[in-house]
Homo-oligomer: A and B are copies of this chain.
Amino acid sequence: MTVLEQMGEKAKKAAQFLSIATKEQKNKALESMASSLLDNMPSILKANAQDIQNAKEAGIKESLIDRLLLSESRIQDMSKGILDVSNLEDPIGEVLNDYTRPNGLHIQKIRVPMGVIGIIYEARPNVTSDAAALCLKSGNATILRGGKEAIASNKAIEAALRAGLKDADFPEDCVQLVQDTSRESANEMMHLNGYLSVLIPRGGAGLIQSVVKNATVPVIETGIGNCHVYVDKAADPAMATAIIVNAKVSRPSVCNAAETLLVHKDIAPTVLPVMAKALKENHVEIRGDKPILDILGEGNPATEEDWATEYGDYILAVKIVSSLDEAIDHITRYGTGHSECIVTADDSAAKEFTARIDAAAVYVNASTRFTDGGEFGMGAEIGISTQKLHARGPMGLPELTSYKYIVTGNGQIR
């Protein structure tokens, strides 16, 4: 048995315990984990300092080092995050269906945990506590594999979380961190069939694509967002401008930020100059097709590649379309099924757009930035699914569960 298979066995055992733990027990364990993070702050900060030093010596860029960096206040936030999860509603045990068949069989469909959830992520140590808490609250054991740059921090956080579990009389193996951060350990995790109920990658496009392309365990694909805002001919120009500016610049690095603006040709001459001015004031580079550049008298030309790119930056591709159909076709071709928006005062255009666009979240007259567990009212989220199997869009606690049928009879045979 490999190290990961041994971890898988331990996780399955812990998952059996968790599957019948009560809401009160789980909340007590989460409170204990939250306290333990605070109690172990010195060792976590010390480990983090080592990661930061290694990262600087390795010449890792500043924005990544910032994600890796922990401070007293960041650890307090992580601890508070665990308490927030403990306050969410427990999804386990919910009766999803309850009926009696003509032969007298009583069938109940009951929400149960998935079992063992694997998470592969990059060098963000806060994901370690965040994912562990969401999985535990939903009755699942976790096997976590973070990026190698954060390994010392992650080990210290794992130790604190496990100490918290132990104090609450929970099996420590409810939370396990993969100590080996080589490419081989990630690859083995993708093939840990029989142990992982699901594997969720959290991170950039490269990581997610690698997991999706290689994994033979069940996977939930998350987070790649080439999102569009389509400004219909019946759009309110001021609303359209406010939405595209917000969707592009409020947080350009995240997956629900807009990457391409599509504008109906009839409204383009009036609305585009206004939008371009507002975007320019917000330091956004416009890459447009020829008619755009003609209208604006400036900007850089867009290539085929621009339509397919998730910039994650202050860059926006802009295209003029001659109809709603053309807008839908463009989005169908280049979209990643994340978040798509139409701005229009025309109800029938809105209806056609929402019916035909195949994405997790389709917006009418609102920013794509709302695709988020918190904004959807779910509390915390573990990620945003861009696949159609199991869960789509923001994934909260219910999306980390499965169900089973309990069938009660009095001797029925078939």
User: Quick check: B361 and A412 within 8 Å, CB to CB?
Assistant: no
Q: A101-B377, A212-B216, A216-B213 are in contact. Are A236 and B411 (CB under 8 A)?
A: yes
Query: Given A19-B358, A388-B115, A365 and B218 touching (CB < 8 A)?
Result: no
Which one of A242-250, A287-295, A301-309 is at the B interface?
Answer: A242-250
In the complex, what residues of B have CB within 8 A of residue A407's CB? Answer: 361-364, 366, 370
Specify how many copies of this chain sit in the oligomer. Answer: 2
User: Are A404 and B389 in contact, CB atoms less than 8 angstroms apart?
Assistant: no
Smallest beta-carbon distance A384→chain B, Å: 11
Indicate with 1 or 0, residue by residue over A249-278, a CB within 8 angstroms of chain B CB atoms.
010000000000000000000000000000
Interface string of A362-378 (1 = CB under 8 A from B): 11111101110001110
Contact indicator A369/B16 (Cβ below 8 Å): no
Chain B residues whose C-beta falls within 8 Å of the C-beta of A243 in the assembled complex:
411, 413
Question: Do the beta carbons of B389 and A246 come within 8 Å of each other?
Answer: no
Interchain CB contact (< 8 A) of A388 among B16, B197, B366? B197
| Chain B neighbourhood of A219, CB < 8 A | 218
Q: Given A375-B414, A377-B101, A405-B361, are A355 and B387 also a contact pair (CB < 8 Å)?
A: no
Q: Which of A79-116 contact B (CB under 8 A)?
A: 99, 101, 105, 107, 112, 114-115
A391 nearest CB across to chain B (Å):
8
Asked if B413 contacts A356 (CB within 8 A), the reply is no
Q: In this assembly, does A332 line the interface, its C-beta being within 8 Å of a C-beta of chain B?
A: yes
| Distance from A246 Cβ to chain B, minimum over Cβ atoms (Å) | 4
Do A369 and B413 touch (CB < 8 A)? yes
The residue among A20, A105, A411 with the most chain B CB atoms within 10 A of its own CB is A411
Tell yes or no: A25 within 8 A of B by CB: no
- For A251, give the chain B residue with the smallest CB separation: B414
Interface size on A, residues (CB 8 A): 69
Nearest chain B CB to A102's CB is how many angstroms away?
9
Chain A 219-254 interface 0/1 with B at a Cβ cutoff of 8 Å (1 = within): 110000000000000001001001101110010000
Report yes or no: A363 in contact with B414, Cβ–Cβ below 8 A.
no
Minimum CB–CB distance for A119 against chain B, Å: 15
Q: Which residues of B contact A212 (CB under 8 A)?
A: 193, 216
User: Which residues of A from 335 to 364 have beta carbons under 8 Å from B?
Assistant: 350, 354-356, 358-364
Contact A375 B411 (CB under 8 A): no
Among the interface residues A242, A363, A409, which one has the most CB atoms of the partner chain B within 10 A?
A: A409
Contact residues in B for A354 (Cβ distance below 8 Å): 406
Q: From A361, which residue of chain B is reached at the shortest CB distance?
A: B405
Residue of A114, A363, A407, A408 with most partner-chain B CB within 10 A = A407
A405 touches B360 (CB 8 A): yes
The residue on B at minimum CB distance from A363 is B407
> Is A198 an interface residue when CB atoms closer than 8 A count as contact?
yes
A379-414 interface (Cβ within 8 A of B): 387-390, 392-393, 402-414
Q: Is A214 an interface residue (CB 8 A)?
A: yes
Q: How far is the CB of A106 from chain B (nearest CB, A)?
A: 9
Task: Say yes or no: is A215 at the interface (Cβ < 8 Å to chain B).
Answer: yes
Closest to A20 in B: B355
Across the interface, A16 reaches (CB within 8 A) one of B198, B356, B387, B411, namely B356
